[in-house]
Structure 1
């Protein structure tokens, strides 16, 4: 029987690095080429040399790490996405008084995109080093970086050196449905510019996001491509409906109470490429179900009951 490891990149007890091809874009500095341009475009007008709202400046590396009055002492906490005030502020609803950047009017509103957010999250999670290269990011961050670079005029040539997957062509979601979901406090946004495909992140809702909450997402099944359910109270019973989200390419379920039962339902997601099961109760019994995911490229199984022998069986 062919080893499961020969089929996908699996993160079990060690992190298996991506296939790193040496090209210009991958050797770009993350901070200089992406993070700083994002901050310059969307943050520095209020938090720079000329204006330091909340006693916070973000125009230099030193100032970025100092934080400000409203952010305490650390707007960025290296290695801790959820503890980083920067991520918290930019993922707040746009009408929240503490949201960054603020929405003064629709015409000039320029929020952080989901792709930019993915790069920032990856950069912070991996230590927020000012020396980090794009090739050092995780797969999600690297792919997002390609899209961000593509929209920076001076970096277009470099962006073409990265593999940029074709964005899904899906119909636009109903505004009323989107409003209902956002009113639940759930983060929902396009996965990139110029696409109707959506990304939903329920991890910020924590245990308040339950099985019934997941059912509320079914009306956007024709648009939902990325879904983060980590740290929610989702159960095996609730995941019975996951097969209806057939366009899903990325699914986060880390630190939830799901078991091997859930992988039966997950195995029906024919478009799934990325799956994070870190810190769940799955075991070797799930490997057979994961094999059914023909397009799966990467799965995280650290801190589960999957054994090394089971993974290579």
Structure 2
């Protein structure tokens, strides 16, 4: 499990390489949800999402031989772009495995950063493993990796460095990479802080894993919040979630869409549905408790999904 010193070391490695994203406020959202909200705007991060924190951390810690072979990851989109960007800046060849149904803008972004994009059908993880082994590439898991988790912890440190008064943190949940890193960091700094995860009803692998007491896999995971539609819960992520997260709630698809429109209209932030998960939970009745930070995890939006 990452220690606080390791997370701080990762934050120092990232300093000057990525953005320290702003924390914003909205009086309209405070009034709508009857509380004090702070919005951690990771949509302004390099490549438009939090993913660069963990993936760049991983890349910086690879051996010279691992980097020379080239790296590969599997992604719905944001991890693909993040790894492609990090690899380009480090001079490392990158391959990303994505579903043929992935958001076209996210496919284009990965290619634009210089990655080789493999569009596949069927079991993404199986195709990722096959291509990795056939080409002898260095695998970089998008969330089930200690270095990735440690890098994501830098976001939690930033939250409490900028606003030590925070009482609760709301975090979107996919396979568990972001919440395991953020929860570990904030709990090690401030043990009495609350951490709540939010995931789509149609992609609730972390909730099911918590209920089963072991990492589970879903036969299918589809959501308008494509960034949260991970079919598996990370085996390294689950123990951290069990130890440091106070609860994970499921939200409906209509709430995710309503939340995306609400935040966009009130703040003018072009967030993607995955990043609106916290607000979907608030729409469905989650009550604010003290000063609450909501992580707006990304802004790689498929505009067509917002059309009436």
Q: TM over 0.5, yes or no?
A: no
Larger RCO, structures 1/2 (Cα 8 Å, 6+ apart): 2
Instruction: Determine which structure has the larger helix proportion and give its number.
Output: 2
TM-score under structure 1 normalisation?
Answer: 0.32
TM-score, normalised to structure 2, is 0.33
Larger radius of gyration, structure 1 or 2?
A: 1
